[in-house]
Amino acid sequence: MMGVCFLLCLLILAGCRSRAEQEPVSRMGELVVAGPLRYTVFDTEWKTQIGEGDNAHFPKNRYLIIHLSVTNSGGSLTQIPTMQLETADGNSTAEITEPLGVAGWVGILRQLRPADTLQGNVVFDVPMSAYRLRVGSSADAIDEKTALIDIPIQYAPAAMPAPAPPLDTPPR
């Protein structure tokens, strides 16, 4: 009897997993489908500021810039919804919706005609960590389909020192 109760509790707990744990997570570089929209994340970059001098913007944490493309494979004009970054424990942060001077920023009002592609950058202010990017199919919450893309933490490679000049070998 005790074993049956234990097994029943395990089955109930397994059914209580969060939505993010049950969803497949794609990798950067892979084509990701969310309804009629097709997303590809190409690269990420961490910044401690955007702009310089009087035009400098400083984050609360760090700026994470995600370079991606979105293609509308549907048959009608489609609004690209705001994207979210999610942590492993389920907390989420929406993308920054104000212009900061980021080159290639895709903006906040994003519409795509059928077969059109938008390529550029979205920006988040988050602590440096690994995340999952939640992308969606439309701004309509009722028909919304979402997908997750793994955003691993990537550090910029350290500059390699210049090679030492060749040593002259004395003649023999």
- For residue 161, the model assigns a pLDDT of 55
Residue 161 to residue 172: CA distance in whole angstroms: 32
- For residue 66, the model assigns a pLDDT of 96
SS3 call for 9: helix
Q: What is the tally of structural domains in the chain?
A: 1
Assigned domain for 160 exists: no
CATH of the domain at 120: 2.60.40.1240
Residue 77 to residue 162: CA distance in whole angstroms: 52
Domain hosting residue 36, numbered range:
21-151
- For residue 154, the model assigns a pLDDT of 72
Assigned domain for 93 exists: yes
Is-contact 78 37, C-beta < 8 A?
yes
- For residue 108, the model assigns a pLDDT of 87
pLDDT along the chain (172 residues), means of 10: 46 45 85 95 95 91 96 93 92 92 90 95 96 86 85 67 58 60
Using a cut of 0.85, tell me whether the model's pTM lies above it. Answer: no
